[in-house]
Structure formats: structure tokens, C-alpha cells
Structure 1
Amino acid sequence: MLTKLERASGLDRVGDRIQSGVFAVLRGQRVRDFLHGVWLGHPLHPALVQLPVGAWVSGAILDLLPGQRRAATVLVAVGTASAVPAALAGANDWASLSREQRRVGLVHAMANTVGMALYAGSLAARLSGRHNVGRLLGFSGLAAASSGAYLGGHLAYKQAAGVNQGVHELHRIEDGWHPIAEVATLPESTLLTRQVDDVPVVVFRDGDEITVMLERCAHQSGPLGEGRVTRVDGRTCVVCPWHGSTFMLNGGEVVRGPAGTDQQVLPTRVVSGVLQTRLP
């Protein structure tokens, strides 16, 4: 069923318009980077969803217990309010996904939007004294949000949306030190692509500092070896040619999204003039 959803090209017409709208609203790079979680070094959306989901589930439990109307109402209010920033961060991440991921993500967002609307109605009913209606709307909202969470799990675990796309390459590298190149042959300030056990890595020399990092971008596996070198806040960085994710070449820290995680850098050493690298 979900495979069919991934291939449902009919969703693209709506999805493309919403994507353009998201980019139009979130135009500032700093705003997008904040919502991607660049400052955190971790995607922000999955961290934010813990509060509304936790509050809503706790509220549903209290709705099943006697004498807990006020506490349940407070939890519904907290969950509904905190769902707004979580949805905003999610929309920002969604707009930078691949087309098949956006199709599933669109339905994921629709289910969560229905859940938010039902919980907003539940809160209004509770505040007006109609607690039975509020409970019914709350349980319905939880069902909708749970459906959205299921689709979110499919996005993360099956489609690898928002996860570091390069880390799995580490599992293909054997233990021990691997020769890369003779240091004397490495040009200054030039991105080079080399292989470690058939895994592509980027080699960059800046004076006496030499960086070896995984070549596939953490965001969507873009070829960093074909990227460009730039300076951000005085630090030398590489910019992915696909979506513009920017990483420090000395350390791999992400400085601009849409990537929300750092790029994996490998340890290096020089033995008899030969640059070597190994697993972290």
C-alpha cells in the first residue's frame, strides 16, 4: 500500500504547489537552517514532535480516568500549541525531500493537520464545558495523529528521509589504516575524490591540514567531490552541488541546510609521506 503511495504521481501537482509555498514563506536561509536543526547538529522536527504526541497521549489516558477533566484539558492545550512549531519544522524538512518522499510526506502532513484540527476542536469544546464532545474529538485526533506518525516512520525507516545518507558507507570500510595518496601529490585547496574499499571519500588539503570525509552528502547522497569550496565565517567549507548543504572541511560540522546532521570525517595520519585514513 505504501509503495503505491510512493508512486502516486497524482500527488505531485498539489505537492509542488505546497513546496513552492513553503519556500516562499520560509525565504531566509537562517530561518530554514534553524528549522532544519543545523544549530543543533540534529534534525529539529523529530525532537519537537515529542511534546505534542506525549501531551496528547497523556491527555487521552486522563480522559479515561475520573476527575481528570482539568488536567486533560491542560494537556490537550499544550499538545495543540506545541504541534504548530513541530509542523513548521516538518514542512521545512519536507520541502527539501525527493519527489517520492514528498508524496508520502504530503499524506503524513495531511493526517497530522486533521489531528491538529480535531484537537483544536476538542480544546474549544472542553473550554466551553462540553467535555464529552471534547473527549470524542480528542480520541479522533489521536487516531489521525497516530496515522500520521505511522507514515512518518515509513519516511524515516523505509525511505530514509532526514537521516544521514552517508553513514552507511562506513560499514563497507574494513578496520585498519588505508593508504589514500602521497601527500606531495595533493594540490592545495582542491577537492579530490578517492576510494577507500570502494567507498568514495573527499580529500582536501589546506596547508598542513588534510581532511578526509565521506563523499556522499549526509542530506540526499549528493557528490561532495563535485561541490565547490567556500568560506563561511572564516572557515573553509564544501557546498553540496545538489541542494546546497554546507559543511566545514575541518571537522565536517554542518553550517547550512537542508542537511541537519554533520558530514562524517575520517581520522588521518601520514606515514613515510603517504596519507592514510581509517574508521572513526
Structure 2
Amino acid sequence: MDRRGGARPRPGHGAGARVLVGTGVVGALPALATGWADWARSDKQQQRVGIVHAVANESAWMLYAASWLARRSGREGLGKALGFAGFGLVGFGGYLGGHLGYRQAVGANHADGVVRTFPEGWHAIGELEELPEEEPVRGEIGGTPLFVLRRGGRVDVLADVSTHLGEPLSDGVLSDPGHARATITTTRGSVFEIATGEVVHGPATAPAIRFDTRINGELVEIRLPRP
């Protein structure tokens, strides 16, 4: 009983529970859409796990939607049962999501290891005149693959690893190499601005690893930017 003499609402009943369930149902829609977009750009092995992950999560979404409808019509007991069933599927889907993220590296930054393994200091990658004009070349220092593009006296260098699924940038399509905002489109559809490494268009979310460059006599030298 509350202070006014009325019966207290039982846990999981009443308007508050309906609002909470309804908010979750609506809020899940963008996550479902982005999940399918990322699934479409994944490898086959990742897609097999991803489809089960998606089915579990969307089944949970339908159970929660049915729970909201049942609660709205006054069938609180049925609404709670549907909600518990949805919660169980959310847990299973979350387990698969963790497997995708931590074991199969879906959505992970595949280039971040470069920051930890690239040797410190300046390193020569060759002479300026040896680099072709407006044509990307692939280099390597300390086991780190490099994407190198010369435009006149300017040389831009990125780690030759896409942050999306690790595909080489050098296998992509170069656009407007003679302009400051030249881009590279990877085989998975991510677009990076070469001068900055920034993402122009996903599915990649993290920028490409960019190196500082300088011309030392005839040599082009690079280093990781300092924090």
C-alpha cells in the first residue's frame, strides 16, 4: 500500500514498464539497420555468424514489440513472459556479437596495431625522384606496409591497411590524384582522404593511419605523428 492507501503497482507492471519497453523497441531500429549494413561488407565466415546474430536480435526485437502490445492491452502477465523471452535472446545475440567483434574482428580497427609496432623516429622510404607522379606505390618499413603517393614535391604516406577489414589501400581505386582532396576507395567500399587519412565514406569508421613526411636532401622520410 502507498501513503494514500492505494495498492502499489507490482514490478514490471504499469505505464513505466510500457514506456521502458516501447523506448527500447524504437531505439533498436537504427542498430538493426546499421548491423545489416556492416554485415553486407563482411567476409563469408563473418556473415555466417552474423546472420545468426541478426536473427537472434531481430527475434528478440519482435518479442519485445509483442510484449509492449500485450502490456498496452492490459495483459501484463503475457507482456512480462514475452519480455523475459526477448531478454534471453538478447543475451544469446550479445554473445555472438562479442564473438564477431573480438574473435572475428568485425567493426574493429584493423590498422591500430601499426601505432604500437612501427619503429620510432624518421625512416627513409626512397628518393623523391624515384617515386612516380600521381601514382600510388606500395612500400614497407619494419614489416609495416605503406601506401605512398607523390604529387610534385608533396608525398603523402598512409599505412597500407584499411581500418575496416584490413584490406590494402593500394588495391583500391584512386580518385583525383592531382588535387589536394584526392581519395582512395578500398575494395570494401571505404573511402579515405589521402592527405589526412580521414574517412570520407564508410563502412570504415576510424581514419587511416597517416605518417608525417619530410624531404631530407633527396630522401623522403616518414615517422608516426607524435601525440
User: TM-score band (shorter)?
Assistant: 0.7 to 0.9
Match of residue 181 from structure 2: 235
Q: Quick one: distance in 1 between partners of 2:122 and 2:13?
A: 62
- Alpha-carbon spacing, 1:67–1:79, altered in 2? closer, same or farther (3 Å): closer
Q: Quick one: distance in 2 between partners of 1:65 and 1:181?
A: 74
Q: How far has the Cα of 1:68 moved from its partner?
A: 5.8
CA RMSD of aligned residues (A): 2.1
Q: Secondary structure at the match of 1:181?
A: strand
Q: Secondary structure at the match of 1:189?
A: coil
Report the AA paired with residue 129 of structure 2.
A
Q: In the alignment, which of 80, 87, 94 is matched to residue 142 of structure 1?
A: 87
Match of residue 249 from structure 1: 194
Alignment pair present for 1:180 and 2:133: no
Q: Quick one: distance in 1 between partners of 2:168 and 2:62?
A: 41
- Alpha-carbon spacing, 1:67–1:169, altered in 2? closer, same or farther (3 Å): closer
Q: Secondary structure at the match of 1:225?
A: helix
Match of residue 158 from structure 2: 213
Q: In the alignment, which of 165, 169, 176 is matched to residue 224 of structure 1?
A: 169
Q: How far has the Cα of 1:260 moved from its partner?
A: 2.7
Once the two structures are superposed, residues 146-194 of structure 1 have per-residue CA deviations (whole angstroms, 9 ceiling, x without a partner) of 2111111110111000112222233321212111112232222110111
Q: Secondary structure at the match of 1:201?
A: strand
Report the AA paired with residue 110 of structure 1.
V
Q: In the alignment, which of 11, 15, 19 is matched to residue 74 of structure 1?
A: 19
Match of residue 166 from structure 1: 111
Alignment pair present for 1:122 and 2:67: yes
Match of residue 199 from structure 1: 144
User: Residues 13 and 76 of structure 2 are in contact (CA less than 8 Å); yes or no, is this contact kept in structure 1?
Assistant: no
- How many corresponding residue pairs? 216
Moved over 3 A (4+): 64-68, 231-234
Q: Report the structure number with the largest CA radius of gyration.
A: 2
Q: How far has the Cα of 1:78 moved from its partner?
A: 0.7
Q: Quick one: distance in 2 between partners of 1:186 and 1:108?
A: 47
Match of residue 4 from structure 1: none
Report the AA paired with residue 131 of structure 1.
E
- Alpha-carbon spacing, 1:223–1:67, altered in 2? closer, same or farther (3 Å): closer
Q: Quick one: distance in 2 between partners of 1:277 and 1:268?
A: 4
Q: Which moved more, 1:142-151 or 1:221-230?
A: 221-230
Give percent identity, aligned residues only: 38
Match of residue 260 from structure 1: 205
For structure 1, the 5+ residue unaligned runs are 1-63
For structure 2, the 5+ residue unaligned runs are 1-8
Q: Quick one: distance in 2 between partners of 1:65 and 1:156?
A: 38
Once the two structures are superposed, residues 54-95 of structure 1 have per-residue CA deviations (whole angstroms, 9 ceiling, x without a partner) of xxxxxxxxxx96486211210100100111121011011101
Pick 1 or 2: higher relative contact order, CA cutoff 8 A, min separation 6: 1
Match of residue 94 from structure 1: 39
User: How high is the TM-score relative to the length of structure 2?
Assistant: 0.87
Report the AA paired with residue 82 of structure 1.
G
**Greater percentage in helix:** 1
Q: Quick one: distance in 2 between partners of 1:124 and 1:173?
A: 56
Report the AA paired with residue 147 of structure 1.
F
Q: Quick one: distance in 2 between partners of 1:209 and 1:270?
A: 9
Report the AA paired with residue 142 of structure 1.
F
Q: Quick one: distance in 2 between partners of 1:145 and 1:272?
A: 60
Match of residue 52 from structure 2: 107
